[in-house]
Amino acid sequence: MKKRIFLMMTIVLFVTGIVLAGPNWMGTAHSEGGDRLWTTDLNWDTGAAPMTGSSPLVRTYYLANEDDYPEFTDGMTGDYVQLIVGYPDTPADTWPARLDITGGTMTLRDLWLSFAFAPNWQAVINMSNGSVSCTKEVRIGYYGAVGTLNMTGGSFSCAGDLFIGPDGGKGIINLSGGTFSTTRASMWLPGYIDITGTGKFSMPDSNGTPVGQTMSKIIGWASSGGITTPDRVAQLVTDSNLYCLKIEWNGVDTTTASAKQYGVNQASKPQPVQYRLGVSAPLTLGWTKGATALSHNVYIGTSFADVNTAANPNVLPGRGNQTSVTYTPTFELETATTYYWRIDEVDGSNTYKGEVWEFTTAPGDICNPVLAGDLDGNCIVNFEDFAIMSANWLDCTKTLFPCP
């Protein structure tokens, strides 16, 4: 079986032009009562730690125990061609390959996090400090495998392409701290980025508008559940607190997705979810009330600034005070329009200002003939249409085929 796997991998690597030069992590020192440090020569199959220009591999094939994984930590530096964590040369149901980064500086051309043929093969990088820089590409969850990057601190940057779940894999980035930045990115569901705490995900953006490529892509991910917080369609809830997803442009050159924690007395869990695209009218807005709320001030309009600064629910964009946790607009929603809305919770003498949420309505029928798959009605079938389809599927209420 192993020979067949090695033959298949050799063919794949030959076609892609990748050469696995090693060395291979063995964790020998740790299994014999020593350390698991990346720079300890005895932990590698060649008897020497990775040198500049090498391509180290971390896989379970050589490990005697699950906790023989390597640690890259303070004071360490590395400059490598390629790093692979997770490789299909062991039975698929063994423990995940693992690398902990707790400090230091690592520079790579490429990183492949979990490279195999089925979700039984898994690999994880846990990063709490330090910095990792890739100059060409990062692949998380590749060729059917599951790859997970857990970040609680540090900085991870990619000057080239980030691929989350390419070629049938599943890529997961859990960002509860630290920053992940990339020049370009592609995501395949069911992969996702889960943002909580102080975690931030950023990409270059020259104009910061919804029609800009970066802003449009990140909002599309958010609409489909590709970027998520525990307030949303979270496949993996990494924090018990509730967060509001924020997508913001810095006014110059970067758009960043982050999470802001709700106060216990604030409204949360908006429906439609934050940044939902292709919303059809008529609709009813909904939310989960704050802990002490007795009533709710409702604000909705097409200007973020107006909704954000409004203070009187009886003056537009205010829509009154009510006791219900749903609101159906009494005015006609325009097509292809972004609406901002806010719920302030009132418990008598106290008012708790809510976060500003947003959704975008679907355009009207402007294409003749109508294009199959053009869910947002802009006469183009692209990623935004796929995001709407994915969001509707996850919603279970907007699909032609109801969820079981």
Phi, psi of 70 (to 5 degrees): -85, 155
Is the Cβ–Cβ distance between 113 and 125 less than 8 Å?
Answer: yes
Q: Which amino acid is at 180?
A: F
Q: pLDDT at position 165, please?
A: 94
What's this model's pTM, rounded to 2 decimal places?
Answer: 0.81
Q: pLDDT at position 132, please?
A: 98
Taking the domain 268-361, which CATH number applies? 2.60.40.10
Is the Cβ–Cβ distance between 83 and 115 less than 8 Å?
Answer: no
How far apart CA 105 and CA 156 sit, in angstroms, is 10
Residues present in the chain in total: 404
Q: pLDDT at position 16, please?
A: 44
Q: What is the pLDDT along the chain (404 residues), one digit of tens a residue?
A: 433 443 344 444 434 444 456 899 999 888 888 899 999 999 999 999 999 999 999 988 777 788 899 999 999 999 999 999 998 876 656 788 999 999 999 999 999 999 888 888 899 999 999 999 999 999 999 988 999 999 999 999 999 999 999 999 999 999 999 999 999 999 998 899 999 999 999 999 988 776 667 888 888 888 887 887 764 433 333 445 678 889 998 889 999 999 988 999 999 989 998 899 889 888 999 999 999 999 999 999 999 999 999 999 999 999 999 999 999 999 999 999 999 999 999 998 899 999 999 999 988 755 555 566 776 666 667 766 766 666 555 444 333 333 33
Q: pLDDT at position 348, please?
A: 87
Q: How many CA atoms lie within 13 A of 378 on its CB side?
A: 16
Question: For residue 276, with 0-12 CB atoms within 10 Å meaning exposed, 13-18 middle and 19 or more buried, which class applies?
Answer: buried
Question: For residue 126, with 0-12 CB atoms within 10 Å meaning exposed, 13-18 middle and 19 or more buried, which class applies?
Answer: middle
